[in-house]
Structure 1
Amino acid sequence: MTSLFVDRRGVELGLESGAIVFRENGERIGTVPIAPLTRVFLRGDVNLPAALLGKLGERGVGVVILSGRTSRPSLLLARPHNDAARRVAQVRLSLDEPASLIIARELIERKLTRQIEWFTELRENDIQARYELSRALRGLEEHRARLGNINNAASLRGIEGSAAARYFTGLQAVIPGSLHFHGRNRRPPRDPFNALLSLTYTLLHSEITIALHGAGFDPYIGFYHRLDFGRESLASDLLEPLRPLADRFAFALVHRRVLDKDHFTTTESGCLLGKAGRVRYYAAYEEHSEILRKGINQEIEQLAEQVGSALTPESGNTPDHDSGDWE
């Protein structure tokens, strides 16, 4: 096990001999060792002592608290990476507009490539949706080809936004009609599939933020998503090329009927996944987490190589310019 999901009202967590102890109404109901954990997700009315939080931080286990109806995350990060030079280099590159554009363009190129690869697979297996998927693929390929000609961040955002519209039109063709998916919407999501996307993006964004912190980066200083108060812009950057992996996961849940419309509740406040659905979702997320975390690690390794060049004197990198959304 690498992730622990706690979504049970009134449960109390404690620390005992390197393990998390669960109690309900004063009675011990379970134990989970800390050693194999990398993440702990808490939702609802859960109580735990500072000693347990300290032990989790000491072991490098990030804690994600999902609060409110929309499961807005709060993060308790583990101990940070000790090399401040990496953060200094990150800041330097973020102030260099040409360098930031190169990093941002590569992020979006990887995103479009993953979308194209997935839609190519879907087109081979879904005859009924082949026409719409083919149209979407042509649009995505055209947008990817245009990336090499851009020379400013505004143009890159325009291409990415236009490609996203083509992408979700194609995705709509393969989502079951019973879920009433007609493109991306959020804050709040208004249909079951958008609710799945928002929840998955939220968890993945939290995972990226924790991983960046542990790797010595500042999650708030990005290259594609610029500075914005309260937003982990670098985590939003790395989320972009990983969104297709999250989309594949959400699609698999509804395609294999792990979740259906009955697992969701729609009100004026939006569409939310119910308790029974969350139990299924968390189990499936844990099974899929190895793929998602491998993607995160690959993106961080790529970023480390790019930022590392700013630490090399002979690179000639002397930045002197000023230069999202996870759901």
Structure 2
Amino acid sequence: MYERKKEISLGNIKIDIINKKNGHVLVGKVDLNKRFLEFVSQKEILLHFFNHYGYYVGTYYPREHLNSGYIILKQAEHYLDENKRIILASKIVEGSCKNILNVIKYYKNRGKDLGKIEENIILLYKKIEKCNKVNELMAIEGNIRDIYYKAFDEIISNEDFIFNQRTRRPPQNELNALISFGNSLFYVLVLGEIYKTHLDPRIGYLHATNFRRFTLNLDISEIFKPIIIDRLIFTLLSKKMITKSDFEEDMGGILLKDKGKRVFIEEFDRRLKKTINHRQLGRKVSYRRLIRMELYKLEKHLIGESEFEPYVSRW
């Protein structure tokens, strides 16, 4: 994902620029002039802004160059029709839950005591198909996540990283800080991939389309976060690549220091480049490519070519 990273100074203002294949992440405070914005627009480059504390601020999104009026109308149609929307929203939650269960099974097979957590998630999974309202799905998805997060302490087994409960803006402990930072990076990654398709990122199905700028990237992220972000966090902590010393108290919470962010980003890049055997294609594809393929599958669903089936890991 990240080709290189460099730090530049503008007067007494220092910013980090992380170059990406589908956009740039800017961390810190920076003033951009019109000529620069014209340049990135011509090059069809997205700019994702994070503040000094690692919080996602927003995205400079150049004029859409691949958007299709037909696809956008189909997206809106599938959102406004409750029956069509619930089908897609259910598939997203199913995919997320199945990948969560695969993470649980992976660590259960390595001696972690996760049997009860697995059983409780399976019970909730069986309720997904009975939902006929999106808010019911959201409630089930939230309950699955709450149970899943209880597995983190058993998987990580490190007193320096205790979950307690999910907290945001600001995260109240080190583990929550890692989850928030990783999720934010993943949301902008998926946004960049959507920009390379005919889809409009403002129309999602599980997450309500409202005054929030983007929602489709949140939907697709739900499917992949367990097997990319969560597994990455477990790896970083088990190998002690990130330790308690990589965090600091600030803004009334716990935040990841610059060194920790760099380590996280580098490993995130490696994870996205990692390839797996794709049974249907009969060849290896990267995790990044899987995300783009998920978007293409959604397009085909919208135009009636084939039903959307979320990606589920096989390991």
Shared topology, TM-score over 0.5?
yes
Q: Read off the aligned partner of 2:214 and give its amino acid letter.
A: E
Question: How far apart, CA to CA, are the structure 2 residues paired with 1:292 and 1:65?
Answer: 24
- 1:178 paired residue among 144, 160, 168: 160
Tell me how far 1:50 sits from its aligned partner: 4.5
Which amino acid letter does the alignment assign opposite residue 74 of structure 1?
G
CA distance in 1, matches of 2:269, 2:302: 31
Counterpart of 1:164?
Answer: 145
Distance in 2, matches of 1:38 and 1:233, equals 18
Paired letter, 2:191: T
8 Å CA contact 1:3–1:41 kept in 2: the answer is no
For residues 299 and 59 of structure 1, what CA distance do their matches in structure 2 show? 25
Larger radius of gyration: 1
Write the mapping of 1:100-111 to structure 2, written as runs, cut at 5 A: 100-111=85-96
Distance in 2 of aligned mates of 1:82 and 1:217: 6
Give the Cα separation in 2 of the matches to 1:5 and 1:289. Answer: 16
* 5+ long unaligned stretches in structure 2: 13-17, 274-285, 307-315
Please name the residue that 1:255 is paired with: 238
Alignment of 1:146-165 (within 5 A): 146-165=127-146
- Change in Cα spacing, 1:193 to 1:64, as seen in structure 2 (3 Å) is same
- Name the TM-score, length of structure 1 as normaliser: 0.79
What is the letter of the counterpart of residue 302 of structure 2?
A: V
Secondary structure (helix, strand or coil) at the match of 1:179 reads coil
Q: Which amino acid in the other structure matches residue 240 of structure 1?
A: E
Aligned partner of 1:143 in structure 2 is 124
Deviations 1:53-86 (A, max 9, x none): 4444433332211124242232122442142211
* Maintained 8 Å contact 1:219/1:235: yes
> What is the CA–CA distance in structure 2 between the aligned matches of 1:208 and 1:226, rounded to whole Å?
17
**Helix, strand or coil for the counterpart of 1:65?**
strand
Matched, 1:63 2:61: no
Percent identity over the alignment is 21
Q: Distance in 2 between matches of 1:287 and 1:151?
A: 39
What SS does the corresponding residue of 1:91 show, helix, strand or coil? helix
Q: Distance in 1 between matches of 2:161 and 2:133?
A: 38
Partner AA of 1:96 in structure 2: D
Instruction: Tell me if the contact between 2:187 and 2:221 (Cα under 8 Å) persists in the aligned partners.
Output: yes
- Looking at structure 1, the residues matched to 270 and 62 of structure 2 have their Cα atoms a distance apart, in angstroms, of 23
Amino acid at match of 1:230: R
Deviations, residues 199-239 of structure 1 (Å, cap 9, x unaligned): 11111111222322331222222211112322412222112
Which residue identity does 1:42 align to in structure 2?
Answer: L
TM-fit CA distance, 1:141: 1.7
Moved more, 93-102 or 172-181: 172-181
Asked if the contact 1:4–1:37 (Cα under 8 Å) also holds between the matched residues in 2, the reply is no
Deviations 1:119-155 (A, max 9, x none): 1111122x3xx32x11111112222222222222232
* 1:304 aligned partner, one-letter code: E
Q: Secondary structure in 1 aligned to 2:26? A: strand
| 2:171 is the alignment partner of 1:189 | yes
Q: Distance in 2 between matches of 1:192 and 1:3?
A: 27
CA distance in 2, matches of 1:82, 1:72: 24
SS, match of residue 265 in structure 1: strand
Residue-by-residue CA offset, 1:10-57 (whole Å, 9 max, x unaligned) = 525xxxxxxxxxxx99xxxxxx9x8x8332111124466544544444
Give the gaps of 5 or more residues in structure 1.
13-23, 26-31, 316-327
Deviation sequence 1:63-117 (CA, Å, 0-9, x none): 2111242422321224421422111110111100010000000001000111111
SS of alignment partner, residue 168 of structure 2: coil
Q: 2:219 aligns with which of 234, 237, 259?
A: 237
Instruction: Name the structure 1 match of 2:278.
Output: none
1:87 aligns with 2:72: yes
User: Is it true that 1:114 corresponds to 2:96 in the alignment?
Assistant: no
Q: Cα–Cα, structure 1 residues 53 and 256, in superposed 2: closer, same or farther, change >3 Å? A: farther
Asked if the contact 2:121–2:144 (Cα under 8 Å) also holds between the matched residues in 1, the reply is yes
The answer as to whether partners of 2:174 and 2:254 remain within 8 angstroms in 1 is yes
- The number of residue pairs the alignment matches comes to 287
Gap change, CA 1:37 and 1:232, over 3 Å in 2? closer
Query: What is the match of residue 266 of structure 1?
Result: 249
Change (3 A) 1:73 1:216: farther
Structure 1 residue 2: Cα displacement: 4.5
Whether 1:11 aligns to 2:38 is no
Counterpart secondary structure, 2:155: coil
User: Cα RMSD between the aligned structures?
Assistant: 2.6
| Stretch of structure 1 that moved more, 76-85 or 110-119 | 76-85
Residue equivalent to 2:22: 38
